[in-house]
Every structure is written in C-alpha cells, then in structure tokens.
A and B are shown apart, each in its own frame.
Chain A
Amino acid sequence: MSDVAVHEADHGTHGHTTTTGLSNNKVAMWLFLGSECLLFGGLISTYMLYRGRVSEGPRPGNVFDIPFTSVSSFILLMSSLTMVLAVSAAQNRDDRGTTLWLTVTALLGATFVGGQVYEFTAMYNEGLGFTTSLFGSSFYALTGFHGVHVTVGIIMLMSLVGIIKRSTIPGDKAEVVELIGLYWHFVDVIWIIIFTLVYLIPA
C-alpha cells in the first residue's frame, strides 16, 4: 500500500501549495502509520492473550534464543541509523550517499529477515509449527506480519536505489526517501515492542 502512496501524484502539491503547506504524500504516510498501530496492536494483543496456551509442543521459554534474537534486533535498530543517514544525504542532494546508505539499510534489513527465517526454521525443528498450539499460531502470525513488512520495506529500498541510479537527472528524491524512511522506522519501532513483549518478558 505504502508505495502506492509514495508515488501517487503530487497533484495539488505543486503549481500551488496545499492548505496546510504540508506534502500530501507525507500526510498520507503518517495516516497510514497511525492505522498500522491498530493492526499491530491487534496482533500483539492476540499473542499476549495466547502466549501461555500450549497444549502441545514447546513453550515460549524453550524455543527462544535470546542471544541470537538480540543480535538481529540490534541489526534492525542500526538499520534505522543508516536509513536516517540516507534521508539526510538525499536532503543534501547527494545521490551517491543516498544510494550507499539505502543499500546498507536494505542489507541490514535482509540480514534481519534472514535471521528470522533461520529462527523460524530452528523453532520448527524443535516442534513448533504454525498449528502446533495457540502460542505457535499467534507467534508466527505476529512475527510473520512484521517480517512481511520488513520485506516490503527492503523491496522499496532496492527499487528506490534502482530508480535513483537510472534517472539521468540528479537531485531531489528527498521526499520519497523520507517517506520510505518513515515506513522503515515504523517497522523498527514495532520490533522494539515485539522484542520486549515477546522475547524478553517470559510468559
């Protein structure tokens, strides 16, 4: 959805200014993120309600590998830094800096998703499938949704790198970079919550 918003018209923004003086795209992105709070809130609540309901298979404490997840959480957190550096480069019209930091961000994101795939595989091998227990279902639903969000973010970052590289005219991509940045940070803050509520606080 979000890249729909990103590239949609700056209709109304140019030629004359908007009523509030704010960019249509940016207001739209913030509205979308506000809406996403209720999406993730629902998934997190479902997990909180069901995390202790294990009729079969492993319990949360048995499958989580806290040191491993701490590292991948840290990687995602640092990708927020590189993202913000990309935005800052884009605002300085530094195309090289922008593509560099965007690529680094995408790589960090990919590392995180790779870690998640590894984690899911390990858990599956320990006997926690999607349908094993309510804990399993709600855990995979929540972290899976988050993982999909990260993946979409990576695709957007890579596409943006491609577009910036291909376009012959250098300069102002700042807003698009900023919008994707907002999305990326949002996905990161959701993980900050998941990391604490799901991993660090035992059921």
Chain B
Amino acid sequence: MAIIERPATAGGVEIAPPATPSRAQGGFKRPVSTTGWKSWLFTVDHKKLGIMYGVMAMFFFIVGGIEAVLIRLQLAAPEGKVLSASVYNQMFTMHATTMVFLFVMPMAAAFANYFIPLQIGARDVAFPRMNAFGFWCVLGGGIFINLSWFLGGAADGGWFMYAPNSGPIFSPSHGVDFWTLGLQITGIASLTGAINLIVTVLNMRAPGMSLMKMPVFTWLQLVVQFLLLFAVPVITVALFLLSFQRNFGATFFDVSAGADPLLWQHLFWIFGHPEVYILILPSFGIISEVLPVFAKKPLFGYPFVVFSGAAIGFVGWGVWAHHMFASGLGPVSVAVFSISTMAIAIPTGVKIVNWTLTLWGGKLRFTAAMHFAIGLIVLFTIGGLSGVTHSVAPSDTQQTDTYYIVAHFHYVLFGGAVFGLFSGFYYWWPKMFGKTLNEKLGKANFWMMVIGMNMTFGPMHILGLQGQPRRMYQWTEARAGEGFFNLAFWNQIASIGSIILAVGVLLFIINVVKTARSKELAPLDPWDSRTLEWMTSSPPKEHNFDVIPTVHHLDEFFHRKYQQDPVTHEYKQIATAEEILADQEAHADKHIHMPSPSYWPIVLAATLPIITTGVIYSIPVAIVGGIFLVLAMFGWALEPSTAPETDFDPPAAGESTKELAPLV
C-alpha cells in the first residue's frame, strides 16, 4: 500500500512527510494518472475495477445474447438453415460458456468489488493489486476463448464438455483447447478474487460491524467466495487432465484406453453444482437489499437468510451427482443424491418465505429495481419447482437431456440470476454514476424481459416433456406431432419470445445511454436506503468514506436517519442523508492512505494468454511466456508497497495529477 497522503477535503491541507526513500525495485515507476485511459489501465481502485468488470460482462452478455438468438432462429422453422450442425454445436457451447463464465460470474464480481468495501465501511479491498490482476485475467481469458471462433472453430462439446465429445476425434478443431485453457485463466481470477474478498470481509470491516451486522449482500457474497475458493481447484484439475489428454497425448477420459469418462463428469459437477450457487447467490443477496428498502421494512428473519445461505453453501457440495442420474451410477448413489437434492430445496425455500414475508405489510414502492426483485422471486420459484421434479431420479431419467432441463435452468438462471443483477443495476446505478436510470424505461425493460423470458422458456417445459432432445440442431415437420402439444407451434413461440427478450435487453442499453446523456443528477439517497454504501457521496470519493463509520446496528444507515419513538414504536426521521454526509465531511480524516496504481497486474495477467497460446501452437512460445510470468511475479513482489514520491512517473503535460499535487 502506498502512502499518498493528502488532505481528505480541500479544507485541511496536510502533506505527508516523505516516506522512507527507496529505489523503484519493482522495475517500473508507478503510474500516476488519475484521469484518462491510463488511470483505468493501471488502477487498483475497487470501484473502477467494479465498473470495468461490469462493462466487460455487459459486452459478453450481448455476445452470448446474439448467440442465443441465432440458436432460436435456427429452431424457429422446420429444417432450419441458419446454422450448420457443426456451427450449431459451437453456438450452444459458447452461448452457455459466455453466459456463465463471462457474464453472470464477472457481473456478480462487479457488484462484489464495488459494493463489498462500501457496505462494510472499508476504503478498498485487502489486496488491491490482486484485484486488478483478477480483472485482467477474466478479460484475457474471455477474449482468448472467443478467439477460437476465428481460428478454426469454437469449442463444441457443450458447456459441460463430456468425453468423448471433448476428445480429438469428435472435436478436432482447437476450439476445446481454447476453451480449456481460457477457463484456466478465468479460474485464476476467481481464485485470487475469492481469497481477496474473503480477507476483505473478514478483516476490513468498520469498527462495530460484527458478522451479524453485515448487510446480506456481503454475507451471501462471502458464501459465494468460499464456494469459489473450494470449487475452482476441482475444475482446475479437470481442465488440466483434459489439456494433458488433448495436447500431450494422455488418455484420462478415453474409454478405448481403459479410462472412465465418468471421472470427468464427477470432477465437472463437483465444481458444477457449487457453481450454480455461485451464479445465483449474488442475486439473492441483491434482492435481499432491494426488497427491504422498497418495502420500508427490515429484511424478515435476517439470521435465517444468512444461515440458510451458509447451509446452501455447504449442502451444495453433496448433490452433484444429480446431474449424472442417467449415467449408470448405481442404485445406492442415485438414491443418496436424490435425497440430498430434495433436501437442498429446503434452505432455498426458506429464503423465498423470508422475502415474501418482507413484502408482507410493507409500504411497497414499485420501482424498476423492485419489479425485478419480485420477478426473481416468482420466476425462480418456478425454476426451483422444476428442479425438485429432477431430483426424483425416475422422473429425471425421462427429463434429462430434453428441453425440460433447458427450461429449468433458464428459469433459475435467467429468471433468478439475471433478474437479480438487473435489480441491482436499477438500485445501485445512482450510487455508481450519480444518475438514476429512467424508471419508465426500466419498467418497460422489465415487462419486455418477463414476457420474453416466459415465452421463450415456458414452452420448453412442453417441448421437453414431448421429447424434444436438448442440443438438437433441427426439427422436422414430419416428427413435430399434432394438436396443442405439437413441437412446431411451441418452437415458434419460443423463438418469438427470444426476440422480445432481446428487445428488453436493448431497452436497458438505451436506458443506459439516455441516462449517461442526461444532465439530471440523482439525489444523495434516492431510495431511502439502509446500508453503509449510501452513506457517502454518489459516486463515492476515491477513498469511499471521509471518516470510517462506527457501526452500531444492522442497517446502520437507516438507524442514523431514523429513531424509534419509545412510546409509539414508530420510526421518526432524525437526520437526512445530506446532513449525515456533511457531518462526515466536517470530521474528515486528515491522513488517508490509498493504494497506489501499478503496472504489474496487467503485465502479469498478459503473460497468461501468451502461455496458453504457446501450449496450443508452439511450446517455445509457452516457455517464453512462462519466463515473462516469473519475471512479472518478481517485479510485482519487489514493488515496494509503500511508494515514495520519487517512485512515480512524472505527470505528462496537461495530465491531472490530483494525488501528488498539493491541494491548496
């Protein structure tokens, strides 16, 4: 951590005594810009990184969305000609990969990065450079995976990449290699991110914030980070074995060599089921913030929500083989996993009850954020119920690998995870950018997405139960059947729905552009919120809080604004957000230590795609990349964490250098 001592407010001028002089052992001088592209490229600020994660995830959301629409166009009519069979396989594989690893996970990471430090009253994360490193890894890995489209074809084995489809015989292009190695890179980011955020939550809470006074979003993100911490290494092993098979001639999943392809399935789903909770819990956390605010009531049964979140995090490790019911596990295993899967629906149900009871009797305000939150409750419940039908193994053997499964996971993932993220966009936009997203457009956005998503995925229950297999690239009139349940009709409805869904997403983008252009600034506390992230300016100052707050309550900010009347038990407003902020500014800390920007995170992350490219095309390149990697690690490690002023790049002409120039 560097010391850039500077006055927190323009008032008290206090320049730090120079730190112990030292050489720039890290090799580079420190970057200095606080504006312009350099300030983003070399930043270690959790808020900037949060926004960068968000922008990247949104980009991949659009990429994955286009892939989805192409899939639906192909299936809109009998004997579709939009995509060839081989491109179709690549399309659904990359659609799922993109949505899971490059949209939902990074978007959840965007919120985690931006809001965990703010919600716990910290000035940054525990390891700011590692945070930046994580972002550059995901970006590098994401681009790397997608490069395969232009280099002979993308991965085509389905997102779970079962053997033998993942082997060289059925997947001769380099697509699977790009996929495997790219996911290794994003996995590194997940691991470092998990460690970073866990340490941040455990160690950097504001004074007084005990674990049970922590906002629910932070809590559920903590559970998610533990899931990542322990699930990522499992997929890492699986991906290594697959790479060794594809690139170095091992036979880990090759039946003809005596291997057990079920090994891959186990490793994948030991990771994969915790992964689905990694995808959904951040959204659960978001709506657990949104519902109380717009119901003007505390979250019903906070400890239950927290403990059921932790319970999901634990039980989620004991259900993975429900994805393998049809693989011949044997009756005992099937029975055990069937029962554990039914059990995991319980803590999930607890949450739904808590949210519903939070709404009960509240003064509800139906903002766009609230719409999406309620949408999540309803749609996720539908997906949860179809999930319970899969937990019954005999029933699942009928459903597995049909569109019924596709319906299930889109209700939980789109209706659940994605709606939660959208709720977060509308709720937190004013905090992040100082402007409120247009509410009218927001509601239009919501209704288009609800209608579109139900039209797209609702009929898939029918299609699946009628026997339409998953990942089928064409259907024919002759086999579509007749009457109400004929496949042709419902396929068409689903395809039309996907267009409506796309329009819904487009409305969101229009809303963002419109809001960015608008001059109207958001009020300081537009929703009358309850948690610490609202107790600072919008967008927050670089150091987040002028004074680190001391916490006395769950929902601390609410309790600073309102006090309970001892007689009537009603809450009366005692302060406005503006007054609280003014009070903070008046008592601002004099010395604020902020971490210095650094070149090393992006440099270190950039060596990884070099190595993976080398693994595919030429081992010497990988070795050179490896040498750079080691050098970059040394540079990183030797970069003094306390940066003296001589260690900085001098500002270029015309550049703003707020940090170093004395503010007078």
Q: Which A residues are closer than 8 A to B by beta carbons?
A: 1, 3-12, 14-15, 18-20, 22, 24, 27-28, 31-32, 34-36, 38-39, 42-43, 46, 49-50, 53, 55, 130-131, 133-134, 137-138, 141, 155, 159, 163
A22, B203: Cβ atoms under 8 Å?
A: yes
Cross-interface CB contact of A55 among B130, B199, B230, B257, cutoff 8 Å: B257
Contact of B641 among A4, A7, A19, A163 (CB under 8 A): A7
Q: Does B433 contact A (CB under 8 A)?
A: no
Most chain B CB neighbours (cut-off 10 Å) among A20, A34, A137: A137
- Nearest A residue to B548 by beta-carbon distance? A16
A28 CA to B238 CA in the complex, in Å?
24
Interface 1/0 per residue, B117-131 and A, CB below 8 Å:
000001010111110
Asked whether any CB of chain A lies closer than 8 Å to the CB of B636, the reply is yes
B198-257 at interface with A (beta carbon < 8 Å): 198-199, 202-205, 209, 229-234, 236-238, 240-241, 244, 248-252, 257
**Contact of B230 with A38 in the complex, beta carbons under 8 Å:** yes
Report yes or no: B129 in contact with A49, Cβ–Cβ below 8 A: no
Q: Is the interface of A mostly helix, strand, loop or mixed?
A: helix
Chain A residue at minimal CB-CB distance from B225: A31
Check if A28 sits within 8 Å of B244, measured CB to CB: no
Query: Does residue B153 face the partner (Cβ distance < 8 Å to A)?
Result: no
User: What mask results when residues 133 to 176 of chain B are scored 1 for a CB within 8 Å of chain A, else 0?
Assistant: 10000000000000000000000000000000000000000000
CB neighbours of A18 from chain B (8 A): 203-204
Instruction: Judge whether B633 is part of the interface by a CB distance below 8 angstroms.
Output: yes
- B595 proximal to A (CB < 8 A): yes
The distance from the CB of A33 to the nearest CB of chain B, in whole angstroms, is 11
Q: Considering only CB atoms, which chain B residue lies closest to A129 in the complex?
A: B249
Complex alpha-carbon distance, A5 and B128, angstroms: 11
Q: Are A9 and B128 in contact (CB under 8 A)?
A: yes
Binary CB contact string for chain B from 238 to 281 against chain A (1 if under 8 A, 0 otherwise) = 10110010001111100001111001000100000000000000
Contact of A131 among B129, B251, B267, B636 (CB under 8 A): B251
> Is the pair A46, B229 in contact by a Cβ cutoff of 8 Å?
no
Residue contacts A-B, CB under 8 angstroms, 8 given: A1-B188, A1-B192, A7-B636, A10-B641, A20-B203, A31-B199, A46-B263, A50-B252
**B342: Cβ under 8 A from any A Cβ:** no
Q: Is the CB of B244 within 8 A of A4?
A: no
User: Which residues from chain B contact A53 at a C-beta distance below 8 Å?
Assistant: 258-259
Asked if A34 contacts B229 (CB within 8 A), the reply is yes
- By a CB distance below 8 angstroms, the chain B residues around A12 are 1, 122, 124, 126, 203-204
CA–CA, A9 and B128, complex, Å: 8
| Distance between Cα atoms of A141 and B195 in the complex (Å) | 26
Take A35-B230, A137-B250 as given contacts and tell me if A49 and B260 are in contact as well, using a CB distance cutoff of 8 Å.
Answer: yes
Complex: A138 Cα to B240 Cα, angstroms? 11
B513 within 8 A of A: no
**Complex contacts, A27 vs chain B, CB 8 Å:** 198-199, 202-203
Tell me if B634 is interfacial: C-beta within 8 Å of chain A: yes
The secondary-structure label for the interface of chain B is helix
Docked pose: A88 CA to B190 CA in angstroms:
34
Pick from A9, A15, A137, A163: contact of B244, CB under 8 Å: A137
Q: How far is the CA of A163 from the CA of B604 in the complex (A)?
A: 21
Residues of B within 8 A of A (CB): 1, 122, 124, 126-130, 133, 188, 191-192, 194-196, 198-199, 202-205, 209, 229-234, 236-238, 240-241, 244, 248-252, 257-260, 263, 267, 593, 595, 604, 630, 633-634, 636-638, 641
CB distance from B487 to the nearest CB of A (A): 41
Taken together as a complex, chains A and B put the C-alpha atoms of A4 and B260 apart, in Å, by 37
Interface pair B127/A131, CB less than 8 Å apart = no
Q: Which residues of B contact A36 (CB under 8 A)?
A: 233
A48→B593 CA distance, assembly (Å): 51
A38-B233, A137-B252 are contacts. A4–B259 as well, Cβ < 8 Å? no
Q: A9-B1, A28-B199 are in contact. Are A35 and B232 (CB under 8 A)?
A: yes
**Chain A CB within 10 A, most for which of B234, B249, B251:** B251
Please measure, in the bound complex, the distance between the C-alpha atom of A22 and the C-alpha atom of B205, giving whole angstroms. Answer: 13
Which residues on the A side are within 8 Å of B205 (C-beta)?
19
Q: How far is the CA of A5 from the CA of B203 in the complex (A)?
A: 15
**Which one of B128, B191, B240, B638 lies within 8 Å of A1 (CB-CB)?**
B191
A11 pairs with B593, CB closer than 8 A: yes
Other than A11-B124, A137-B252, give 12 A-B pairs with Cβ distance below 8 A.
A11-B593, A12-B203, A19-B203, A20-B203, A22-B203, A24-B126, A27-B199, A34-B229, A42-B267, A49-B263, A53-B258, A131-B249
**Which of A15, A35, A163 has most B Cβ within 10 Å?**
A35
Could you say which residues of chain A place their CB within 8 Å of the CB of B234? Answer: 38-39, 42
B192 touches A159 (CB 8 A): no
| Set A32, A55, A134: member contacting B252, Cβ < 8 A | A134
State A43–B237 Cα separation when bound (angstroms).
7
Query: In the bound complex, do residue B204 and residue A4 qualify as a contact, i.e. CB atoms below 8 Å apart?
Result: no
Instruction: Indicate if the CB atoms of B229 and A35 lie closer than 8 Å.
Output: yes
* Residues of chain A with a CB closer than 8 A to B127's CB: 5, 8-9, 11, 24, 28
A residues less than 8 Å from B595 (CB atoms): 9, 11
A81 and B576 alpha carbons, distance in the complex (Å): 61
Question: What is the CB-to-nearest-CB distance from B122 to chain A, in angstroms, rounded to a whole number?
Answer: 7
- Chain A's nearest CB lies how many Å from the CB of B326? 21
Could you tell me if A11 and B641 are in contact, using CB atoms closer than 8 angstroms? yes
On chain A, the residues within 8 Å of B604 by CB distance are: 4
Bound CA span A43–B236, Å: 10
